[in-house]
Amino acid sequence: MILNKNDYEALYEELKLVNEENYQGNFYVTRFEDLEEQAMQFLINENYIDDENEDNDQNVSLNISWKGEGLYCFCGLGFINKYSLNHIVDLFEAETEVSHKIYLGDHNEIEKAKNNFTNVHVVWNIDVFTKTYSLEEIIESEKPTNTSVILSELSKRKGNRQWGNHEVEIIKDMNNETFYEFLKQYNKLLLMS
């Protein structure tokens, strides 16, 4: 999948939504030298380095993970002492644990990933105030099951908990945006367990 400038911008915007404080600046470049120049100018403009010092190029070491043409941004600026620039695809996949191709809607990549979750139902907890979904349960079932049956079973298993703000969705029927959100939350749960 060849990315265009809009694809890179979409990845950057999502990355900022996931962890805004960790990523600063964005530089779409075709040459390494352009990245160095734009990054140094950003550091000066944002007062990370002193523009009065003529030796900036010698004193400031940029840690650049060059992957060729694309969008780069600083990672950890202000949290760590070095100036690290990484390609947006690498940062996106490390932060979300989801392939950038899935986020950008690559049909083949989505279908391949969905095949890892055959007969899997997801129970979402819906926050009606923020209109956000959080992954509550993952249920595998060989036979078709409707929402009321799944929620009834969960109620028996987990006590008489209220399941009114919950929705059940089978993975194979999810749209791309919902599937991406599922993968992001699922991978975070795996990391925490």
- pLDDT tens digits for 123-182? 998 888 888 889 988 888 777 677 788 888 877 777 766 777 888 899 999 999 999 999
Token pair of 116 as six digits: 């890892």
Q: How far apart are CA 105 and CA 127, in angstroms?
A: 26
Q: Return the C-alpha torsion angle 48, 51, 52, 58, nearest 10.
A: 90
Nearest to 41 by CA among 64, 57, 21: 57
What DSSP character marks residue 66?
A: -
* pTM greater than 0.75 (yes/no): yes
Q: State the pLDDT at residue 111.
A: 94
Lowest mean pLDDT among 25-29, 30-34, 61-65, 71-75: 61-65
Three-state secondary-structure class, residue 159: coil
- Between 60 and 186, whose confidence is greater? 186
DSSP letter at 106 equals -
Could you tell me which of 180, 186, 184 has the C-alpha nearest to residue 106? 180
Half-sphere exposure of residue 25: CA atoms within 13 angstroms, side-chain side: 29
Of 8-12, 42-46, 52-56, 79-83, minimum mean pLDDT range: 52-56
pLDDT of residue 151: 80
Cβ(35)–Cβ(64) below 8 Å: yes
Picking from 134, 96, 128, the residue whose alpha carbon sits closest to that of residue 17 is 96
What is the torsion angle, in degrees rounded to the nearest 10, for the CA atoms of residue 144, residue 150, residue 156 and residue 157?
90
CB 42 within 8 Å of CB 25: yes
Mean pLDDT score of the chain: 88
pLDDT value for 99: 96
Task: Residue count of the chain, please give it.
Answer: 193
